[in-house]
Amino acid sequence: MSLTQALNTAITGLNTAQTRIAITSSNISNVNTAGYSRKIAGQETLTLDGIGAGSQVADIYRNVNEGLVREVRGELGKAGREEVRFEFFQRVQTLFGTPQSDAAISQRISDLADAFEQLGVTPDQTSPRIEAIESAIQVMESFEKLSTQLQDMRDDIDDQITDEVDTANTLLSQIADLNTGIIRLTNLEQPTTELEDQRDQKLNQLSKIIDITTFTRSDGSMVIYSAAGANTLLDRTPNSLSFTQTAGFEPGTGGSGLSLGGVDITDTLRTGTLKGLFEMRDSEIPALNDQINELAGELRDAINEEHNKGTSFPPPTNLSGNRTVATSDPLTATGAFRVAALDADGQLIASDSWSDIALPTTPATVQGIIDAINGSDAGTYLTASLIDNKLVIEGQDGNRVAINELDSQITTGDGRQQGMSHYFGLNDFVATAKSSDTITSTAQSSSTTALNATASSFTITAGSGVLVGGITVNYTATDSLEDVRDSIRTALQGAGMTVADSESTAFIVEDGDRYRLVVEYTANISINDSGTMSAKIGLTEDQPSLAGNMNVSSAIQNDPSRIVRGQMNADTYKTSNAVVDPDAAIPNLGPLVPPPLNYTLTVSGAFTDVDIDYDTTTSLQDIADAINNSATLTDNNITADVIFDSQAGGYKLSITDADGDPFYFSDDGLPAADAITTVLGLGIEFGVHEGDNSAALSLSNTFERTDIQFEATDGLSSKRTSLTDFAASIVATAATRTKVAENAYEFQSSLVTDLSTRIQNEAGVNLDEEMSDLIIFQRAYTASAQVISTVDEMFDALLNAV
């Protein structure tokens, strides 16, 4: 080897050592730099014509385990999703309270139950009434707060989605710029490790927002996909994500999705903060709202059902309904109800100031009920009318008004059956807007999946327009929500409605990532299903916004004495006309001319009707025996007594229900003068007693009922239970989900930390190793310098020799 070759070889060693020292120095200086990976300079032999000519730095590379890096990115996305869910479930639990919290909705309802219990014990006192009203107002305010803040939370999520999308787009642009820099350095055969470190950091941040997969080209640039390659986020240039915020959320509405190149990709998201945010906005929070709405509706109906059965003392001068109706609205109704005009002491204004109205009326419409009331005996003392499309019954000349629903049942537009007063909302404690002009299904997870309802049909009727005659909608087991909608539209068009109007009458709305069928008409509609479709999709006239629109009746707030105490008398009957001999045929009874015919006195109530036939030979004792010998009546504690009235100088009939349950009579001999009702003057002698607290007790017992049917909502199955228990289950479910979210987040965070530690152990800078390498490179540098010095001395010796 020549001296020149030795010199050149030494110089290469010097340069190689110098480069490796520089890289080691960089490693040491970045020991605490986040995301920095240890750089390693490979070393290789230089050869010249097959002869070693020194060394050189080969590639400068990063000590990174790409498999672990890909794994940690996947876990970062999962952690991002769980972090978001945990954050918002924490807010949900704060909003709902814990099962032990005094502010929890379950505790509010429990407090209301206590207030009603006290009211049942002392209904005549003012303070328990006011306490019950204030407690009820707190419950209504809790419902409104929950409903409003759940929607505010969805607004906050929309803001956060916007921020995350902006961040993701910024990261994609930054990664694109880094790709360009890496390509340029690669073409110049320069190290790209520092840019790769920066790109990895950006990729990690991006993977927390949206699930990504990557592919690296030979030029060092990286292509980024989401949804396992389904969507291209970056290929040379970034494809920007786009998102439009919703102006304001209402219960039962949805928000916009995430778009890429004009295509909605929301459903393709698998992990990342965006996935968690969309889940909370479109699934979890709407499900919570449904639970609150279900509780609110059942609470309202349970309280109003009992409140409408009773009357206050003194009775009010008017009863004003909450249901919006029209005179032409058809009613599917059965049974009968009692309406009476009373004085301030609860006594009848006159012996005929009460009437039982049989249902259905003729015509079977709202106007039919108004006409029946006004045309009855009671109509002389009170008036029924429609004011602002609400039924109002008002006493004339200051008379008081009372109603007993008896066994009346009116079917609502969504198929429920309610007593007459409850249906119209004449004596509601909880006031809400009631109408059947819009029927909405419960939220369905899909609009295109078969509903699996039993093949059948339903009819839709209304009091005006093309629905006066009703339309029939057929369906099959394979029909989806969209199929049902289309079938309704087809039937409407067949009845004469335009295509455009049919589309605005039956349509599907998005509720988060769920769907609701809506049937909206210009008049109250009624849906009568002969199969299972209505039950399957949960058609209801209650809107998803119900929970935020309830309050205690303003009439009751203004006058606490309007809280019911007793019941309009329907359990005590007497005859006003006496007979001399209770065992002899009742004079003037039955048909007066041949052929002989029997009349029938029918006893009705919450039991099978009992018919008592009578004719001209029937005695007072015969009537009493017929009642007392009826197993149906005695099983319901209805008994009859023949009593002597010394003032009247004869015998009268007394019929009572020992349990205080309402029952009533109908006489097919009426209006003939020989009917038993007319001959004996069978009827009631009073309206409501001041000491009667039966309605107040029934109201308090509402909260002890365990048979209230709650429909299934997301997260809670259908079940029969009490109001307080269902409310407690909502709170407990929210607490459980928060705990589950916390555990999932902690698990994912620990997993990410573990993987990051493993990566750091491999790719991170170890000062001990770097110092050891530094000594080695320093000695190599010194040795190479010594060779150069030696060769230099040899050259000097050679020159001096010459």
Per-10-residue mean pLDDT of the chain, 802 residues long, equals: 73 76 76 75 72 72 80 93 95 85 86 92 90 96 94 96 97 96 90 88 95 91 89 93 92 93 92 96 94 95 96 96 96 97 96 96 96 97 97 97 97 95 97 94 94 95 93 96 97 96 96 94 94 93 94 96 95 95 93 72 95 93 97 96 94 95 94 93 94 91 92 85 92 91 94 84 70 76 80 79 73
- Which pLDDT belongs to residue 63? 78
Contact criterion met (CB below 8 Å) for 574 and 470: no
CA 317 – CA 636 distance, rounded (Å): 33
Q: How far is CA 504 from CA 128, 486, 512, in A?
A: 49, 12, 21
Contact criterion met (CB below 8 Å) for 446 and 481: yes
- Structure-derived torsion over alpha carbons of residues 626, 627, 631, 637, reported in degrees to the nearest 10: -160
Contact criterion met (CB below 8 Å) for 749 and 116: no
Which residues are CB-neighbours of 299 under 8 A, at least 6 positions away?
A: 109, 139, 430, 723
- The DSSP call for residue 346 is S
Q: Kind of pairing, strands 572-575 and 682-683?
A: antiparallel
Q: Among 756, 783, 789, 758, which Cα is nearest to 34's?
A: 756
- Which pLDDT belongs to residue 15? 75
Residue type at position 597: L
- Which pLDDT belongs to residue 380? 96
On the 0-12 / 13-18 / 19+ scale of CB atoms within 10 A, 448 is: exposed
- Which pLDDT belongs to residue 802? 67
Supply 236's token pair.
Answer: 């040379």
**pTM to 2 decimal places:** 0.88
Q: Among 83, 240, 63, 78, which Cα is nearest to 165's?
A: 240
Q: Kind of pairing, strands 551-552 and 430-431?
A: antiparallel
- Which pLDDT belongs to residue 592? 67
- The partner residues of 263 in beta bridges, in order of sequence, read 260
Q: Show the DSSP H helices in 652-721 as ranges.
A: 676-680, 694-701
CA 697 – CA 679 distance, rounded (Å): 37
CA 533 – CA 459 distance, rounded (Å): 12
How far apart, in Å, do the first and last CA atoms of the chain sit?
Answer: 21
Residue where the block lists tokens 């800078």: 765
- Which pLDDT belongs to residue 793? 78
493: left (phi over 0), alpha (psi -120 to 50) or beta: alpha
Can you list the positions of beta strands (E) in 663-710?
A: 663-667, 682-683, 708-710
